Amino acid sequence: MLFLVTGTTGFLGAALANRLAAEGHQVRGIDNLSTISPNSLSPTIHFTRGDVLDRPKLWTLLQDVECIVHLAARVLVPESMLYPSEYNTVNVGGTVSVMEAARDAGVKRVVFISSGAIYGNQQQQPLNEETVPQPFSPYAVSKLSAEHYVRTIGHHANIETVCLRVFNAYGPGQQVPPSHAPVVPYFLRQASQRGSLIVHGNGMQTRDFVFVEDVVQAMMAAAFTPGISGEVINVGSGVESTILDLVHQIAAIFNNEPEVIYNPRRGSGPSRMCADIRKAQRLLNYAPQFSLEAGLRRAIAEDPQLRAAL
């Protein structure tokens, strides 16, 4: 098949594009390179630097494309609090642009990568797709809004659409930006340097950490599985882990007990998050292969700097 992957140089985008290329598919990619990314792409991928808001460029890239996997987005929750208009422009406006270009180019299927963040703070766990969203950040609002645009435009344009709500993905190649870093790569870097780990809140909040290869498995299935148009599907590990569980796992792997500094002044987000993955299992034959420990060990093994600290 011929694919267009948006956000191609990002963490998930690069992993998916490289897997598709390795399995013999033709892959075109577009990314505006707004963040410096260490992720390398297979030389067989036709990469174009550009913005998903540039509809003429999108339309050109979409000639003969059968499936779009749309990952291009701004993804930092705290940053979205400061710049909600930018998150609306990129995450909502960019998604509408992709859907309009897909409609005009005759693309058959769009897989949209949404986020478990749309659920917000919910007492009932695990979270299933029927849970009423309570987005708590402009980022989450933008992802939920984009879902509705994808499904609505797809319905009227006769485009098959699938929305995947990905929870806390982690793995090799994940960036550690100077601010608002994702918790897993941040903790791994700090532990490898014998540094302190800053825990926001009391550390008892829970998250569903899902390894990148498991997410790629779900994205591939969403691209190829027939009869799932219009579906919204959770992608996680199905395991609820506290932030302190993560600290202890990393400490055990590095054989080092890091200093933990608690920061009660900064919000720690929802108190609990765990994905109900039964729908993914039923519709996508999805079966996560990596426990948290196994995923952390793989992430360390594939990063020379982290591996050297063991």
Per residue in 132-189, pLDDT (tens digit) is 999 999 999 999 999 999 999 999 999 999 999 999 999 998 888 877 889 999 999 9
Per-domain residue ranges of the chain: 2-169+210-235, 172-207+239-272+290-308
Q: How far is CA 191 from CA 53, 252, 260, 286, 310, in A?
A: 39, 10, 10, 32, 10
Residue 8: name the closest of 68, 54, 55, 59 by CA: 68
Residue reference for tokens 């598709």:
20
What is this structure's pTM? Answer: 0.96
Instruction: Give the CATH class of 172-207+239-272+290-308.
Output: alpha beta
Q: How far is CA 193 from the centre of its chain?
A: 26
Q: Which residues contact 8 (CB under 8 A, 6 or more apart)?
A: 14, 17, 29, 30, 31, 41, 45, 47, 71
Strand pairing of 197-200 and 206-207?
unpaired
Q: How far is CA 303 from CA 28, 35, 189, in A?
A: 27, 20, 10
Q: What is the pLDDT along the chain (310 residues), one digit of tens a residue?
A: 999 999 999 999 999 999 999 999 999 999 998 875 656 899 999 999 999 999 999 999 999 999 999 999 999 999 999 999 999 999 999 999 999 999 999 999 999 999 999 999 999 999 999 999 999 999 999 999 999 999 999 999 999 999 999 999 999 988 888 778 899 999 999 999 999 999 998 999 999 999 999 999 999 999 999 999 999 999 999 999 999 999 999 999 999 889 999 998 766 689 999 999 999 999 999 999 999 999 999 999 998 888 877 7
- What CATH code would you report for 2-169+210-235? 3.40.50.720
Q: Which residues are catalytic?
A: 139
